Amino acid sequence: MSLKSLLIQLSTGLVALTLAATVSAQTAKPQVVLLATGGTIAGAGASAANSATYQAAKVPVDKLIAGVPELSAVAQVRGEQVFQIASESFTNEHLLTLGKRVAALAKQADVDGIVITHGTDTLEETAYFLTLTVRTDKPIVVVGSMRPSTALSADGTLNLLNAVTTAADKSSRGKGVLVVMNDEIHTGRDVSKSINIRTEAFKSPWGPLGMVVEGKTYWFRAPAKRHTTESEFDIEQIGALPQVDIVYGSGNASDTAYRAFAAKGAKAIVHAGTGNGSVSGQVVPALRELRAQGLQIVRSARVVGGGFVLRNAEQPDDQYDWVVAHDLNPQKARILTMVALAKGADSKTLQRIFMAY
């Protein structure tokens, strides 16, 4: 063999080894699927000074991924555009479509984690719905932003990197659906949007589960309520969600809204009461009447989290056959009530479910 032939063979072999090493390194990285639904994280403003005035749901998923090249160092990320809407326009049908897609992906061997980009207005509702209905121990992370990508000090890129970091981390498995915002990791069960302007908008009444700092997750507690693999609900068994509506309690309240929702087909009404889920005297007769007609009545509280509605306090729930939402806010109480009623829960079962989830 000539020296030239030998050099060619050695060169060819070296290229093959390099390619093999590259492929091996790539396949060794966690594989994360990014499901995009729109929202501010995909929004754009007229100028860099617009942080609160912008159009949501403008940037497609491929551009979201391309806009954060650091993702490639964390995981192999591929994207799907599920919806392209502002989250206040999410419907029950959107929840079901998204939930079924998440469940299908979670079953795939080539998926290690799932990240969902979402508008912040109803992000907490979607996160809780997935917490209840998707049976997997793989990390599911919901993420959004408070500023569009075009704004000065936009928060979406770091939020997205932190979300993928969390989804790719094996330590995130088994903790249920997570929400990653502003460097914090929250459980989808507890977290709520409590501020509508600043980047630290998402809070959990019992505190975050952990943090993401410079590409590493740090954990401080675990979820205490039932979720995902321990849930009695299954997205694959839910064909439709019943109508459940929320009525806001206040001074000088009347029964008009409660009766109107019932007339329009509501199967349950969540009362967002003052204080300890209080119900005004002029509303109690209507709620008792609607319960006698078969509607479930759920007492929740409109106050900021950090407490819970106590059963048989303020109202004789046992006597009226009403349900209390425990520490869930009205919007999350609506989600849980829908999921439970879709499985045929009666009032006693519904109360058990509120205490467990």
Q: Which residue positions form the known binding site for substrate?
A: 87, 120-121
Task: Give the C-alpha separation, 231 to 226, whole Å.
Answer: 6
Please list the residues that pair with 184 across neighbouring strands.
Answer: 181, 211
Q: Which residues are catalytic?
A: 40, 120
128-156 in b/e form (b: 16+ CB < 10 A) is bbbbbbbbbebbbbbbbbbbbbbbeebbb
Q: How far is CA 314 from the centre of its chain?
A: 32
Q: Would you say 311 and 352 are in contact if contact means Cβ atoms under 8 Å apart?
A: no
Structure-derived torsion over alpha carbons of residues 301, 178, 193, 269, reported in degrees to the nearest 10 = -40
Binding-site sequence positions:
87, 120-121
Closest CA to 337 of 322, 325, 321, 319: 325
Closest CA to 258 of 302, 217, 215, 289: 289
Q: Would you say 132 and 339 are in contact if contact means Cβ atoms under 8 Å apart?
A: yes
Closest CA to 116 of 173, 55, 62, 180: 180
- DSSP assignment letter at 171: G
